[in-house]
Amino acid sequence: MNVDGGVGWLSVEHCSMLLKPSLLSHQSNFRFSRETRIFWARNSTNSYMAPPILSLALPSDTGRVLSIQSHTVQGYVGNKSAVFPLQLLGYDVDPINSVQFSNHTGKPRYPTFKGQVLNGQELWELIEGLEGNELLFYTHLLTGYIGSESFLNTVLQVVNKLRSINPELIYVCDPVMGDEGKLYVPQELVSVYREKVVPVASMLTPNQFEAELLTGFRIQSEAQGREACRLLHAAGPSKVIITSINIDGNLLLIGSHQKEKGEPPRQFKIVIPKIPAYFTGTGDLMTALLLGWSNKYRDNLEIAAELAVSSLQALLHRTLSDYKNAGHDSQSTSLEIRLIQSQDDIRNPEVNFKAEIYS
């Protein structure tokens, strides 16, 4: 044991003290693997005790999220775009990076850059490590870009594992497959999403192209967008938000909440003004905002969508303004979002975009 100035590291194999069960409201005890090193603090009586995992012992009022998405060292996409906003909204977030790129720019959203890819076995080993240390209690699972069928099938195992621990787990799935008629992922992932993922999702946030892939028909009108939502409800999720639909040159968000199976869903739309620029990470950010606000307004998905859209639009306008102030042609390349500079718009958005409820 190394102790210096009242604190030190103590390997678990040399200690017998465990976290008191009373500290964990939903678990009977707490174990660490023999390889785990615990940070110990000396109390006033010069004895040593392991600090509790506060996100478990004193969870936030909003929830604890496991986010499995891509990640970039530079820029904001995937977990880099989703984790920080959720934390600003009061969530504890544990990220697992399915892919780690050096950077991200241009179209499509997920080009091949220098990076590392996590495989399904490695993902499961991380989950086993969390389970072994009794850290696997989550209120929400969030998934975004996943690049292989084997990894996606392992995510399904993760869903089952998390729900065996917390049956009330909310699974928010952004089925990232493509945009504007082009796939970003291998073709075989489409059937996995359609047949296996959609049935276990609590909330689904596809774009127009992804909704078409999942339902099997073209969406060329608001009525078809609403019908796509109803078909997805029938397959599983109670909340569906098609985040962007281009109809006759107009950009819409169409949301749908089926509170009880068999009942007609409450549906709405939000008209979104087009911005003449292409931004990276906006889909990942939008899904994170929808998760964050929909958990605060569980019975009012339209309010959650208004807050999410208003946050995102304020952030995009700030991004566009900053690029122009820097003398950059905003239409020449994709733009990295100004996430850090838009904290106030994420925490306390001014609602400038209202939902229109369909009768």
Task: Indicate which residues carry an active-site annotation.
Answer: 284
Q: How far apart are CA 192 and CA 212, in angstroms?
A: 15
309: three-class secondary structure by DSSP: helix
Q: How far apart are CA 18 and CA 3, in angstroms?
A: 19
Q: Which residue has the tokens 């989703």?
A: 82
Cβ 77 vs Cβ 70: under 8 Å: yes
Radius of gyration of the chain (CA): 22
Q: Which H helix or E strand runs over 158?
A: helix 149-165
Cβ 241 vs Cβ 205: under 8 Å: yes
List, in sequence order, every residue forming a beta bridge with 39; answer none if it has no partner: 9
What single string gives the DSSP state of each residue in 184-227? Answer: SS-THHHHHIIIIIGGG-SEE---HHHHHHHHSS---SHHHHHH
What single string gives the DSSP state of each residue in 314-340? Answer: HHHHHHHHHHHHTT--TTTS-EE---G
Cβ 304 vs Cβ 331: under 8 Å: no
As a whole number of Å, the end-to-end CA separation of the chain is 68
Burial environment of residue 263 by CB neighbours within 10 A (0 to 12, 13 to 18, 19 or more): exposed
| b/e per residue 33-57 (b: at least 16 CB within 10 A) | eeeeebebeeeeeeebebeebebbb
